[in-house]
Structure 1
Amino acid sequence: MASFLYRVGRGSFRRWPLVIGAWLAVLAVVGGLAAAFSAPASSTFSIPGIPSERAQTLLTERFPSESGGDPQTAPTFTVVIATADSTPLTSAENQEKVARVLDAIRDIPGLAAPTAVGTLGLPAEALDGGDPGDRPWVTAVRAQSDGLIDQTTAAGGDRAQAEKDAATVSPLSPDESVYSVRAGFDTAGTPSAVDVTDEQREALRAVAATGEDLGLEVAYNGPAAQDMGGIGFTSEIIGIVVALIVLAITFGSIAAAGLPIVTAIVGVGIAVLSVHALSGTIEVNDTTPILATMLGLAVAIDYSLFIASRYKHEIRLTDDRSHAAGRAVGTAGSAVVFAGLTVFIALVALTVVGIPFLSVMALAAAGAVVVSVLIALTLLPALFGALKGRAFSGKVPGVTAPDPEDEGVHTAGERFAKAMRAKPWIGLAGGIVVLALLAVPVGSMRLALPSDTTMDRGTPARDASDLLERGFGPGANAPLLAIVDATGIPAADRADAFQTAAGDFRAMDGVANAQVVLTNGDPADPLTADTAQILVYPSTGPTDAATEDLLHTMRDHAGAYTAETGADYGITGLTAIQSDVSERLSDALVPYLAIVVGLAFLLLMLVFRSIVVPLTAALGFLLSVLATLGATVAIFQWGWFGMIEGNPIISFLPIILIGLVFGLAMDYQVFLVSRMREAYSHGESASDAVVHGYKYGARVVSAAAVIMISVFGGFILMDLAFIKTMGFALAAAVFFDAFVVRMVIMPSLMYLIGDRAWWLPRWLDRLLPRVDIEGEKLAAQAPAGEADPAAGREPAPAR
C-alpha cells in the first residue's frame, strides 16, 4: 500500500493543475446536483416494526380520513393563546383579542378549512345559540363541551366522568386562561410538514406577533411549525479559527497552516452538498448534514495535518519535492488510510442496527470521511506542487516549530514521557480513577428524542408546550392514543369492549384521563363500528420516566384485556413513537459496542502485531466512552454548571458517539503507538520505544486533538439543545481519549508491562497479514523515470 500511495502523492504533486481542477469540478458538479435535486430535510425519527408503527398503520387503515398520516410529518400545527397574568380569556376584552388572533390564523396561505379555525368544525346553527356576549370561538368551546356531556349522559353514562372527559378534550383550559387552536395546511399544496414554505412559516410568526401586540402570550408548535433553519457558520468559523492558530503554531508557517483548512473546506463542501443532492431521492434527517459537517471538518484537517507534518520533514532530506510528497503520502498517508478506514467501518457498521434514519446519518458521515481521506492523499500534495517552495512560507514570529526528527531536538512530549517513566503507576491509576469517576452518572442516563418540551426556553415550540402544561397539565404534551380493534367479537359487544378499555386505562397509575374519542362506524348505527380511538392523557410529561412506565403498563395489560373481551389494542401517538424509537436505540447500544470493541481489537492486532496493545487500547476506548457519557449526563441531563436546562440525552447520541470515538481513538493510537512499534522493532528497549513514540508523535497528535476539540466544541454555541449536547460529547470524547487514555494511561501501562506489550504467538503472527503503516517497505529511492519538472532535477534518494 505504501508504494501505491507514494505514486499517488508524487503524481498529484507533479500534475497539480489536473488534480486541483478535478476536485473543483467535482465540487461544482455536486453543487449543481444539490441545487437541482435537494429536498427539505426531515425532522422525524421512525423505525419500521416498532409497536407504535403497527398501531399507527391500523389507525390509518381504519380511519383513513381522520388519521392524518404520520403524526411526525403531518402538515399540522397548534397555536396556543394565553393571558400573561392567568386571567380568563373569556372576558369581553380578551375574547376580542383572541378573535383577532384567530383571524390572523385564517389568513395564513394554504390553510385547510380556514373557516373551521376557532369553530371546532361545528355547524353554524350550533354557534347561534350561545350567550349573546360571547364571541363565536367561546360559543364553540361551550357547545362542544355541552354536547359531549349530553351525549354521554343520554347513553346512561356517569355525568361526573362526562364532565371530566369534556374538560380534557376542550381547547380551553379549566381556568379559561389558556386556549389552543389546531389547524393544518391543505395537503394538496402542502403534502407534509417538510413542504411548508417560508411564506407560511413567516405568516405563522406574524400570528404570534399579532397576539403579543395585543398583550397576549401566543406561541405555536407541531410538525408544520418546526423551523430547523440553517446550520449557520458561527460554530464552523470558531473551529476553523482555532484550527488555524494550532496549525500555525505546529508548522510555524501561515501558508502551511492554511493548506489543511483549504482541503477541509473543499471536502466538507463536497460531502454536505452530496447529502443535499441525495435528499431528493432518500429521506435525510435534518441532523445528518450537521453531523457530516462536524466530522468532515475535524478529520479532514487532522488527516491533512499528519501528511503535511511528514512532508515538512521529508523536504529536509531531499531537494526533490515531488519525491518528498510521495514519501509523505506513502508513510503518513498509509496511517491516514488505516485511520480513515477504522472510522468508516465503525460508521457503516451502524447500518446493521436496522434503523433507517441512523443508517442515513452514518453513511453520510462515512462519506465525509472517505472524501477527507481522498482529498488528503491527492489535493494536499497537489497544493504542495502548486506552491512549490512556498508551502511553508509566511513564518510566524516567535514560533520555531523544530522538526522532532532532527538530531538533538528534545520535544515536550519526550520530556513528559520520561517523567511518566519514573512513576508509571501514578499516571495509570490517576487516569483510570478520573475517568471512572466521570463515568458514574452513566447509571442514571435517560434517552429520549428531541421534542418541544426539550427545546430551549424562548423558542416558539417550547413556549407553546409550557403554556399547554400551565393550562392543561403536563400530560397535554404527551397524549397516548390506543387503537382498539374489535373486529373479532360480536358487534353487540364492541361498544362495551371500547368502554372497558377506557376504564382499564383510567384505573392505571399515572393516567389523568382516558376516553373514547372516535369510532369508525356510522354515527347513526353504532353497531357498525369495529375500531375505536381512546385518548389517554398521562399525568406526566413526554420525557418523564413515569410516562414511559405507563406506556409499558398499558401494553402489558393488552393480553389480559384480550382474554376478558376478545378485542385487542395497540398504542401509538407521537409520544409512543418517540419512546419506541428511543428504546430500540438503547437496546442496540450494547451489541453495537461489542461489535466496535471487537473490531478495534482485531484491527490493532493486525497493525501492531500484539495482543496486549490492542486489548488495552480497546478497554481504554471503552473507558473514554463511558467517561464521556457520564460527563454528558451530568451537564446536560442533571443540569450541572447551568449550561443547559436538564433534559434526557438524545437517543441516538450514545450509539453515534461510540462509532465516531472508536474511529478517532484508533487514529491517535495508530499515529502514536506505530512510532513506538517501529522503534521497538529496530532494537530499542520497550521503555525507550515509548519515549521514542512520544518524541515523534505527541506534538502532531496533540495538535490534531485540539483541532477536533475546537471543531466539535464550536457546535456547543448552536441554538438547538441536542446539537449542543452532541458537540460537547464529541469534544469531551476526543479530550478524554487523546489526552487521558492515549497519552497517560496507555504509555504508563506499557512501561509497566515492558516487552510483554509486544508479545504475539508465532502461529498467530504467521496467520495475520502484514500491514505496513509506517511505509518501511517503501523503496529508498524514487521510481526511475523522467525528471521532476517541478524540481528541475532527477529524483534524489531519501535518507
Structure 2
Amino acid sequence: MAELLYRLGRACARRARTVIAVWLALLAAAGAAYVLYAGELEDSFSIPGTPTDEVNRLLSEKFSDMGGGAGIVVYQTEDGSAFTHDQREAIAERAERAAEVSGVADAVDPFAAESERADQRQELADGREELDAAMAELESGQEELDQAREQAEAAGLLAQAQAQFDAEQAEIDEGRETLEAEYGRLEQGEAMMEMAEGIRTVSEDGDTALVNVSFTEDQMEVSQETRAAVMEVFSGNPVPGTEVDFNSDLARTMPTLVSPAEVIGVIVAGVVLVVMLGTLLGAALPIVTALVGVGVATLTAMSLSGVVEMASVTPILGLMLGLAIGIDYALFIVNRHRRQLKEGVEVAESIGLAAGTAGNAVVFAGTTVLIALLGLNLIGIGFLGLMGSIGALALAVAVLVAVTLVPALLALLGHRVLARRERARLAERTPAAAEEEAAARQPRPMPTGRALAQAGAAVAALVVIALPALDLRLGMPDGSSEPTHSTQYQAHTAVEENFGAGQNGTLLVAARLTGGPTEEAAERNAQREQAEIAEEIYSFDDVAAVAPIGVSDDHTTAIFQVVPVDGPASASTEDLVHSLRDLEPIEGTGPLGVAGVASGNIDISETLSGALPTYLAVVVGLSLVILLLVFRSVFVPVVATLGFILSFFAALGGVVAVYQWGWLGGLIGVENTGPVLNFLPTLLVGILFGLAMDYMLFIGTGMREAYVHGAPARTAVVQGFRAGRAVVTAAAVIMISVFGGFVFSETVMISSIGFALAFGVLIDAFVVRMVLVPALMHLAGDAAWWLPRRLDRLLPDIDVEGAALERRHQRPKPPRAAPTAEADRPAQDRVPSERH
C-alpha cells in the first residue's frame, strides 16, 4: 500500500492541474446532482417494528380516520383576559380554513369543543335531575301503595285487593329496575366525564386556547409544506389582541448546514494551522482541500434525499466529520512533507514519500473510522445506519482528497509550503549542524515515579468525569429543549402552565375487547368494557386524564386518549408507558397497546440502548484486532482500547452533566435541560473510536518505530511521543474547533452531537493519548512490545508508518543550497519522468 500511495502521490504532483480540474469537476457534478435530485429532509426518526409502530398499524387497520400525525396551535390573549366573542369567532374561522389545507384531516375549534363538553355536562346534570324526579315519584307511589295495603289489611279487605296490589307493586319494581339501570348508565357517563376533565382545549381562566390539528399522513410523513401552510393560516393573519405559537410537532425547524458558529470554528482551525506551520499558504491548503471534500460529499449525500428518507441531522453529521477529518488528514501529509523538505529531500520525492508514509497511515486510520461508521448498519436501525453511511462517504472522500488533491496542491506550492525563515534556515544549515541538532534532541525516559503519578491522576480524572454517565437518560428533544425565544418553547410552556405538563405528550392507548355473538351484544359489551378499561387506566397515579376516543366497527378494539401527569420526556411518563403495556384489563384479550409521539420516542431510545452494548463490543473487538496488526504487541492494543472506553464514558459523562443536569450550560447556550439525544451514545462510539485510533496511530507508531530501530523501550516512548505530539495536538485542536462550532447551534440535536465529539476528542487526545498511554508504556517497559512467537509469524506486516518504503527510496541528499526561483517553481514542471 505504501508503495502504491508513493506512486500515486508523485503522479498527482506531476499532473497537478489535471487532478485539481478533476476534483473541481466532481464538485460541480455533485452540485448539479443536488439541484436536480435533492428531496425533502425528514425532521423526525422512526424504527419499524417497535411497540408504538405495531399499535399505529393496528389503528390504521381498525380506524380509517386514525393513525395520522397531529400538531397544536396555541392562542393566548396579550393582556391575560378571557377571549372576547370576536376573538373566538376569528380563531374558529382560522381553524375552519386550516382544515381545508391539503394534507390536513381536521382542525378543531377549541371553543366549539369546550361548548360541546359543557353541553355534555349539562345533559348529565339534567339527566340526573330527571332520574331523581322520576325516582322520587316512584318512591311516592310506593308509599301510597304501602298505605293502601295497610288500610286494606286493617279493613279485612286485603285478600280481595291483593291481586291489584301485586300488579301495582310489579309495575313499581319494574320502574325502579329501569331507573337503576339508567342511574348506572348516568354514573358511568359522569365517571367518564370526570376522568376526561383534565383534557381541555380552553384554559379554566379562558385566556389560552388549543387548536388541535390532525393530518392525513403519519407523523413522520407530514411534509414541511403542509406544516408551513397550516402555520401560515394562523400566523399570516393574526387575531388582534392575541399571540399564536406552534408546538414542536407542528413547527419543525430544519437546522442549517452552515452557521456563523461553524465558520468561527473553521477560522480557529486556520489560526491553529498558521501557528503550527508558520505560513499562510501552508495553513490554507488543509482548509481548502477539506472544503472541497466536504462539498463533494455533502452535496452528493443531499442529492440522495430524493430517493431515501434522510433526517436533517444526517448531512450535517457528514459535514461535521468531513470538515474536521479532512483538515486533519491533510495536515498529517503536509506536516510530513514539510519535515522532509527541511531535511533536504527534493520536493517531488518528498511529496511521494509523504503520500506513502503519512498517507499510508491516513488510509489505514481512515479505514478504521470507515469500518466503525459502516458498522452502524449492523445494529438494524435504519436512520442510524444511514447516518453512518453518509459519515463514511464524507470520510472516504476526505481520504481520497488527502492522497490526491493534497499532493497536487503541494506540487504547485513547491518550497513555499515552508515559511521564509524555514527556507532561510534550510539554506544555512550544514551537515555538522544537523548532527548537533539531532544529538541535542536525544531524549531521556521519564522518571518512573512521575509515570505512576501521571497514570493514576489520568485514570482518576477520567473516572470522575465519567460518573454522571451513571445517570444517563435517553430521549428525543421536545419543545422544552428548544431555545426560550422559539415558538416551540413558548407553546410548550403555555400548554404546561395552563393545561398540565402531560398535555404536551398525550398517549394513545389501544385495548382489545371481547366482542359478542351478535351485533347488539358486542355493542353492549363494548360500552361496558370501555368504561372498565378507562377506570383501570385512570387508577394509575401518573395518569391525569383519560378519554375514550372510539370503538372499531367490529367492536373488538377501543382507543383512549391518556394524559400523563408529567411531560413526555419525564421518567414517570416512561414508567407509565411500561405499566400500561403490562396491564391486561380484560382477561383473555391481551395487554394494552400504547402509541403516540412520547411512546415512540421511548421505544426508539430503548431500542438504541439495547443495541449499544453489542455495537460497543464489536468496536472494542475491532480495536483490539486493528491495534494488534499495527503494533504487533499484546499490551498496546489492550491499553489503547481501555483508554478508548474511558474516553467514551468520560465524554458521555460530560454530555449528561451539561445537557441533562445543566452544569455550565449557560456558557454554551444550553438554556433548558432534558434527556440525552437517544442515538448520541451509539453515534459517539463509532466516531470517537475512529478518532481515538487515529491519535493512537500517530503517537504509537512513532514509539514502535523508535523501538524497532534499536532505542530502549522507555526511551522509545519519549521519542515517539515527541515525534507525534505536535501534529496530534494541532489535529485535536482543529477537531475540537470544528466540532465545537456546532455546539452553539440552536438545534439541541446538533449542539449535543458537536459537544460530545469535541469533548471526547479533548479527553482522548490530551488525557488518554498524551498522558495515560505514555505513562503506562513507560511502566511496562520491554513488556509493552511482547508478542507470542507463533502469533508473530501469523500476523501480516502492514507497515503503517511506511518504514520499508523509506528504506527502498533512500537517496543521497542534495547539497544544502538556498532555494532559488527554480525551487519555488511548481513541482510538476520539475518532476523527472521516471516512474518508481
| TM bucket, shorter chain | 0.7 to 0.9
Q: How many residues align?
A: 752
Q: Which residue of 2 aligns with 1:775?
A: 802
**CA distance in structure 1 between the aligned counterparts of 2:440 and 2:91, rounded to whole angstroms:** 67
The Cα of 1:453 is off from its aligned counterpart by: 2.5
Q: Which residue of 2 aligns with 1:790?
A: 828
Counterpart selection for 2:210 from 168, 180, 191: 180
Whether the aligned pair in 1 keeps the contact of 2:583 and 2:592 (CA below 8 Å) is no
The Cα of 1:322 is off from its aligned counterpart by: 2.2
The Cα of 1:84 is off from its aligned counterpart by: 5.2
Q: Which residue of 2 aligns with 1:61?
A: 61
Q: 1:530 to 1:108 in 2, by over 3 A?
A: closer
Whether the aligned pair in 2 keeps the contact of 1:255 and 1:394 (CA below 8 Å) is no
Q: Which residue of 2 aligns with 1:525?
A: none
The Cα of 1:513 is off from its aligned counterpart by: 1.7
Q: Which residue of 1 aligns with 2:111?
A: 138
The Cα of 1:587 is off from its aligned counterpart by: 1.2
**CA distance in structure 2 between the aligned counterparts of 1:314 and 1:460, rounded to whole angstroms:** 57
Q: Which residue of 2 aligns with 1:587?
A: 610
SS at match of 2:541: coil
**Aligned runs of 1:96-115 on 2, under 5 Å?**
96-103=86-93, 111=101
Q: Which residue of 1 aligns with 2:404?
A: 378
Counterpart selection for 2:238 from 210, 218, 235: 210
**CA distance in structure 2 between the aligned counterparts of 1:159 and 1:488, rounded to whole angstroms:** 21
The Cα of 1:96 is off from its aligned counterpart by: 2.3
Counterpart selection for 1:520 from 541, 547, 552: 552
Counterpart selection for 2:526 from 490, 494, 510: 494
Q: 1:412 to 1:663 in 2, by over 3 A?
A: farther
SS at match of 1:456: coil
Counterpart selection for 2:481 from 443, 446, 454: 454
Provide Cα deviations, 1:578-604, integer angstroms capped at 9, x if missing partner. Answer: 100011111111111111111111100
Q: Which runs of 5+ in 2 are unaligned?
A: 128-181, 812-825
The AA in structure 1 aligned to 2:458 is G
Whether the aligned pair in 2 keeps the contact of 1:479 and 1:538 (CA below 8 Å) is yes
Q: State the TM-score, normalizing by the size of structure 2.
A: 0.84
The Cα of 1:29 is off from its aligned counterpart by: 0.9
The AA in structure 2 aligned to 1:371 is V
Counterpart selection for 1:171 from 197, 201, 204: 201
The Cα of 1:67 is off from its aligned counterpart by: 2.5
**CA distance in structure 2 between the aligned counterparts of 1:377 and 1:556, rounded to whole angstroms:** 57
Alignment pair present for 1:507 and 2:536: no
The AA in structure 2 aligned to 1:674 is T
The AA in structure 2 aligned to 1:471 is N
Whether the aligned pair in 2 keeps the contact of 1:319 and 1:796 (CA below 8 Å) is no
Q: Which residue of 2 aligns with 1:124?
A: none
Q: Which residue of 1 aligns with 2:326?
A: 300
Q: 1:741 to 1:150 in 2, by over 3 A?
A: same
**CA distance in structure 1 between the aligned counterparts of 2:116 and 2:809, rounded to whole angstroms:** 90
The structure that is helix-richer by fraction is 2
SS at match of 1:181: strand
SS at match of 1:232: coil
RMSD (Å) for aligned C-alpha atoms: 3.3
Q: Which residue of 1 aligns with 2:353?
A: 327
SS at match of 1:640: coil
The Cα of 1:695 is off from its aligned counterpart by: 1.8
Q: 1:48 to 1:793 in 2, by over 3 A?
A: closer
Whether the aligned pair in 2 keeps the contact of 1:247 and 1:257 (CA below 8 Å) is yes
The AA in structure 2 aligned to 1:255 is L
Provide Cα deviations, 1:676-734, integer angstroms capped at 9, x if missing partner. Answer: 00010111001110111122110000000000000011111111122221111111100
The Cα of 1:391 is off from its aligned counterpart by: 3.3
The Cα of 1:488 is off from its aligned counterpart by: 6.5
Q: Which residue of 1 aligns with 2:47?
A: 47
The Cα of 1:146 is off from its aligned counterpart by: 1.9
Q: Which residue of 1 aligns with 2:76?
A: 82
Provide Cα deviations, 1:550-573, integer angstroms capped at 9, x if missing partner. Answer: 111111123xx35x2535531111
**CA distance in structure 1 between the aligned counterparts of 2:791 and 2:725, rounded to whole angstroms:** 30
Alignment pair present for 1:574 and 2:597: yes
The Cα of 1:631 is off from its aligned counterpart by: 1.4
Deviates more, 1:373-382 or 1:771-780: 771-780
Q: Which residue of 2 aligns with 1:597?
A: 620
Q: Which residue of 1 aligns with 2:162?
A: none
Q: Which residue of 2 aligns with 1:697?
A: 724
Provide Cα deviations, 1:574-631, integer angstroms capped at 9, x if missing partner. Answer: 1111100011111111111111111111100110000100001000110111111111
**Aligned runs of 1:333-732 on 2, under 5 Å?**
333-392=359-418, 423-486=450-513, 490=517, 491=522, 492-521=524-553, 528-558=554-584, 561-562=585-586, 564=587, 566=589, 568-643=591-666, 644=670, 645-732=672-759
Q: 1:406 to 1:591 in 2, by over 3 A?
A: farther
SS at match of 1:279: helix
The AA in structure 1 aligned to 2:752 is T
The AA in structure 2 aligned to 1:670 is L
The Cα of 1:186 is off from its aligned counterpart by: 7.5
SS at match of 2:828: coil
The AA in structure 1 aligned to 2:235 is A
The Cα of 1:107 is off from its aligned counterpart by: 5.8
Whether the aligned pair in 1 keeps the contact of 2:445 and 2:714 (CA below 8 Å) is no
**CA distance in structure 2 between the aligned counterparts of 1:223 and 1:408, rounded to whole angstroms:** 69
Whether the aligned pair in 1 keeps the contact of 2:101 and 2:226 (CA below 8 Å) is no
Q: Which runs of 5+ in 1 are unaligned?
A: 120-136, 522-527
The AA in structure 2 aligned to 1:176 is G
**Aligned runs of 1:735-774 on 2, under 5 Å?**
735-774=762-801
SS at match of 2:75: strand
**CA distance in structure 1 between the aligned counterparts of 2:100 and 2:347, rounded to whole angstroms:** 63
Q: 1:51 to 1:399 in 2, by over 3 A?
A: farther
Q: 1:222 to 1:715 in 2, by over 3 A?
A: closer
**CA distance in structure 2 between the aligned counterparts of 1:413 and 1:79, rounded to whole angstroms:** 70
**CA distance in structure 1 between the aligned counterparts of 2:576 and 2:474, rounded to whole angstroms:** 16
The AA in structure 1 aligned to 2:32 is G
Whether the aligned pair in 1 keeps the contact of 2:548 and 2:560 (CA below 8 Å) is yes
**CA distance in structure 1 between the aligned counterparts of 2:220 and 2:482, rounded to whole angstroms:** 25
Q: 1:284 to 1:115 in 2, by over 3 A?
A: closer
Q: 1:150 to 1:793 in 2, by over 3 A?
A: closer
Q: 1:541 to 1:789 in 2, by over 3 A?
A: closer
Whether the aligned pair in 1 keeps the contact of 2:644 and 2:692 (CA below 8 Å) is yes
SS at match of 2:509: strand
The AA in structure 1 aligned to 2:204 is P
The AA in structure 1 aligned to 2:37 is F
SS at match of 2:253: coil
Q: 1:572 to 1:394 in 2, by over 3 A?
A: farther
SS at match of 1:82: strand
**CA distance in structure 2 between the aligned counterparts of 1:531 and 1:159, rounded to whole angstroms:** 20
Q: 1:85 to 1:545 in 2, by over 3 A?
A: farther
Q: 1:101 to 1:336 in 2, by over 3 A?
A: same
**CA distance in structure 2 between the aligned counterparts of 1:779 and 1:224, rounded to whole angstroms:** 61
Q: 1:690 to 1:203 in 2, by over 3 A?
A: same
Structure of greater Rg: 2
The AA in structure 2 aligned to 1:194 is S
Give percent identity, aligned residues only.
37
Q: State the TM-score, normalizing by the size of structure 1.
A: 0.88
SS at match of 2:40: coil
The AA in structure 1 aligned to 2:407 is P
**CA distance in structure 2 between the aligned counterparts of 1:575 and 1:87, rounded to whole angstroms:** 32
The Cα of 1:493 is off from its aligned counterpart by: 2.9
Q: 1:793 to 1:654 in 2, by over 3 A?
A: closer
The Cα of 1:752 is off from its aligned counterpart by: 0.6
SS at match of 1:518: strand
